[in-house]
Structure 1
Amino acid sequence: MTPISITRKAAGRFLITYQGLDRYDKSGREQAVLNYMRKVGSIQFDPLDICGRNAELVLQARIRNFKADDLYRLLYKKRKLTEGWDKVMCIYNMSDYPAFKRRRDKDLAFFNSEACREIRKISGRIKDEIKQSGPVSSLELDIHGKIDWSWAPAKLSRAALETLFFSGQLAIDNRVNTRRVYDLAENIIPPEYIDSPDPHPREEDYHDWRVLRRLKAIGLYYDRSGDGWLGTIKKKERDAAFARLANKGDVLPVEVEGMAWNFYIPSSEEENLEKIIKGDRRLSRNVRFLAPLDNFMWDRFLIEQLFGFTYRWEVYKPQDQREYGYYVLPVLYGDKFIGRIEPVRTKKDNTLEVKNWWWEPGVRKDSRMMSSIEKALEEYVRFLGAEARISEIMDRIAHS
């Protein structure tokens, strides 16, 4: 199959439109969440909340008047979404639960191994506690002691709950701030999903699903071993899956100007790409504040190659080693990155402040750009349910 040849600029514009970053989804807030989730499959969950958690920020950049409760109703009340391991810990569609059976079976084998002997001893007790008293977190369990765990010594109660969760015996009922509250899986996962067999019994079918799923999570991606492949399969297996998917017509090969790797898009996106190439799809000049772990930003090397924008998430760096700040969001305007914003929210009076703003080199400010930044700030403030002195913030940005 002859690859579609595109420029880097066209590749960047395609990613923006695919990710829904040029126009808001106006189909209603909950429906817009589901629309995006059905398109990309999953979004990364990170509990850190400086001015909105990562998953919330992902959706806020795409849905006008989005509120965090729109996501959590679908996740913890209506059970249209669920939490589980995909790229890392993610939120994904409940309907995809059966497809992750291989992952849960692998963790179940670990649960039954010698490494989890202490956890197995108390697992029945934990399940009985839930049956009698309802959902629990590690704080409610009268289980003491520590255990050597994957990252460091951990509380036995926490390690046990996580192991039961990842092996499919428990599911997350809700969270209290960042703390997970667990229930029996059969109480959370609908019968049509928890009782469903693995939809990809053959390993090749599973590999094809994993590769196509991750491609759809990003939109345009390559066969290079980039960060976007975290949590999937090895490169040799991915290459074989891409070949099968191309033969079946599920993906289309793409060549990007000046880049040596083989790129692909979902075949369903051919028309959108053609519009980008022909110039029939014009991008709106809106400003978006992007989450650090936004699907669009999953492969920062790719972003640097397509947009000339270098971004590092510096929350885990010591302060004296940071180039910018602790929790800094990239700022996208149309098809260009124009800056970075470091928002903070004061707990005392729930006020949004902009600690820092950095313009990208060579950005030429004009009234239209500044107006778009102001609108993005107003939208962001509404999302947070906070107060803000917008005019003062804009004055500071203008003179940064």
Structure 2
Amino acid sequence: MTVKGSSVPRVSAAQARRLLMGAQGLLSDPDRAATPAVVLDLVRRMGFVQLDSINYVERAHHLTLTSRLHTYRREHLARLLERDRSLFEHWTHDASAVPTEWFAHWKPRFTRSAARIRANGWWQERMGGDADRYIDAVRARIVKEGPLRSQDFEHERGQSSAWWGWKPQKAALEYLWHTGELVGVRREKFQKVYDLTERVLPELHRAPAPAEEEHTEWACSNALERLVVATPKELAEFWASIDLARAKGWCDEAVREGRVVPVLVEPLTEGESKPRPAYALPDWERRLKRQPERR
């Protein structure tokens, strides 16, 4: 469906930014009391929080949460990930903490990851033609010994263990993590500790993956709820779990059903000269009026 015409509502750049900030929790009272439950609700509202190993001042995920909740403490996120298991670590566009209630919607990604990783030249070089041997050996040790880190495996080839020179065992661990067999149970000095998903999240591990249509509905509707105004490309890229064609198809159907409305977003940058066709939640104007003027 093409978004055009004088009857299509226009959203200014300032309004689009304000709607996004509100949806992402940046306009709420930052001085409210932080508890694990409040932090979980915040991550759910954002969709996920990207995890970052860089630590010049503080790791980015802690800064992201503190900017929205001034009384947030590192221990809140650690508890949600490592004890309560109400968040799990996996991939969106990068490593992220995601509400565990959505675990099933990562299963299509697990399936796609197996073929993608095995076809990757860099990964094949790390494994040296022995991929299945390393994968089986790593899996067997975790089955027998429980949670393990990369450094718990011997470095057979004497290669650098930096991220650009992963040893085969590290590549095998990440393969099993990306494909859903393993889950990160905690981090020690920001190094993942891996265990079997069936041991850590048994019910979710056994549950079936959603059908493609169900997953597309979940991905697009939840992305738009967290963006309020977005293009199909932005919906597809939010979770990085569906392609552009499926996002476009969802937008067309949602417009026909009255669940979203077409809008034109005024230029956001100096490099743009024309309004951008996009889609918005039907109540975007009411949401705008409910938001505080400033923070």
**Contact between 2:236 and 2:244, CA under 8 Å: does it hold in 1?**
no
Match in the other structure for 1:127 = 139
SS at structure 2 position matched to 1:101: helix
Counterpart CA distance in 2 for 1:106 and 1:224 is: 20
Instruction: Give me the TM-score of the superposition, normalised by structure 2.
Output: 0.80
Counterpart CA distance in 2 for 1:280 and 1:231 is: 30
Offset, 1:129: 1.9
User: Which residue, 129, 141, 146 being the options, matches 2:153?
Assistant: 141
Give the structure with the higher percent helix.
2
Residue 252 in 1 paired to residue 267 in 2?
no
User: Which residue, 219, 238, 247 being the options, matches 2:247?
Assistant: 238
Offset, 1:224: 5.2
SS at structure 2 position matched to 1:33: helix
User: Which residue, 192, 199, 207 being the options, matches 1:180?
Assistant: 192
**Contact between 2:236 and 2:243, CA under 8 Å: does it hold in 1?**
no
Change (3 A) 1:182 1:256: same
Residue 88 in 1 paired to residue 94 in 2?
yes
Instruction: Give me the TM-score of the superposition, normalised by structure 1.
Output: 0.61
Counterpart CA distance in 2 for 1:81 and 1:67 is: 16
Residue 265 in 1 paired to residue 280 in 2?
yes
Residue 69 in 1 paired to residue 62 in 2?
no
SS at structure 1 position matched to 2:130: helix
**Contact between 2:223 and 2:239, CA under 8 Å: does it hold in 1?**
no
**Contact between 2:235 and 2:247, CA under 8 Å: does it hold in 1?**
no
Match in the other structure for 1:282 = 292
Question: Within 5 Å, which residues of 2 pair with 1:1-400?
Answer: 3-24=8-29, 26=32, 28-109=34-115, 115=124, 118-145=130-157, 152-189=164-201, 191-199=202-210, 201=211, 203-223=212-232, 228-229=237-238, 231-258=240-267, 259-267=274-282, 270=283, 273-276=285-288, 279=289, 281-285=291-295
Give the structure with the higher percent strand.
1
**Contact between 2:110 and 2:179, CA under 8 Å: does it hold in 1?**
yes
Match in the other structure for 1:343 = none
**Contact between 2:198 and 2:206, CA under 8 Å: does it hold in 1?**
no
Alpha-carbon deviations, 1:23-44, whole Å to 9, x = none? 2263642222121222232121
Alpha-carbon deviations, 1:326-373, whole Å to 9, x = none? xxxxxxxxxxxxxxxxxxxxxxxxxxxxxxxxxxxxxxxxxxxxxxxx
Offset, 1:52: 1.8
Change (3 A) 1:265 1:52: farther
Equivalent pairs counted in the alignment come to 274
Offset, 1:223: 3.6
Counterpart CA distance in 2 for 1:225 and 1:30 is: 30
SS at structure 2 position matched to 1:197: coil
**Contact between 2:233 and 2:247, CA under 8 Å: does it hold in 1?**
no
SS at structure 2 position matched to 1:61: helix
Amino acid at match of 1:161: L
Change (3 A) 1:21 1:133: same
Counterpart CA distance in 1 for 2:74 and 2:97 is: 14
Amino acid at match of 2:206: D
SS at structure 1 position matched to 2:104: helix
Alpha-carbon deviations, 1:105-130, whole Å to 9, x = none? 12234577795652310223222322
SS at structure 1 position matched to 2:134: helix
RMSD: 3.0
Flag structure 2 segments of 5+ consecutive residues without an equivalent. 268-273
**Contact between 1:20 and 1:62, CA under 8 Å: does it hold in 2?**
yes
Change (3 A) 1:73 1:237: same
**Contact between 1:256 and 1:263, CA under 8 Å: does it hold in 2?**
yes
Counterpart CA distance in 2 for 1:146 and 1:204 is: 47
Match in the other structure for 1:389 = none
| Range moving further from structure 2, 29-38 or 168-177 | 29-38
SS at structure 1 position matched to 2:285: helix
Counterpart CA distance in 2 for 1:101 and 1:187 is: 17
Alpha-carbon deviations, 1:145-184, whole Å to 9, x = none? 289xxx9542111101000111111110111122111111
Alpha-carbon deviations, 1:188-222, whole Å to 9, x = none? 22x331111112x1x34333332333333434322
SS at structure 2 position matched to 1:139: helix
Counterpart CA distance in 1 for 2:257 and 2:218 is: 13
Counterpart CA distance in 2 for 1:256 and 1:48 is: 35
Counterpart CA distance in 1 for 2:135 and 2:96 is: 25
Amino acid at match of 1:263: A
Which structure has the higher relative contact order (CA within 8 Å, separation 6+)? 2
Counterpart CA distance in 1 for 2:193 and 2:68 is: 29
CA radius of gyration, larger in: 1
Counterpart CA distance in 1 for 2:286 and 2:72 is: 31
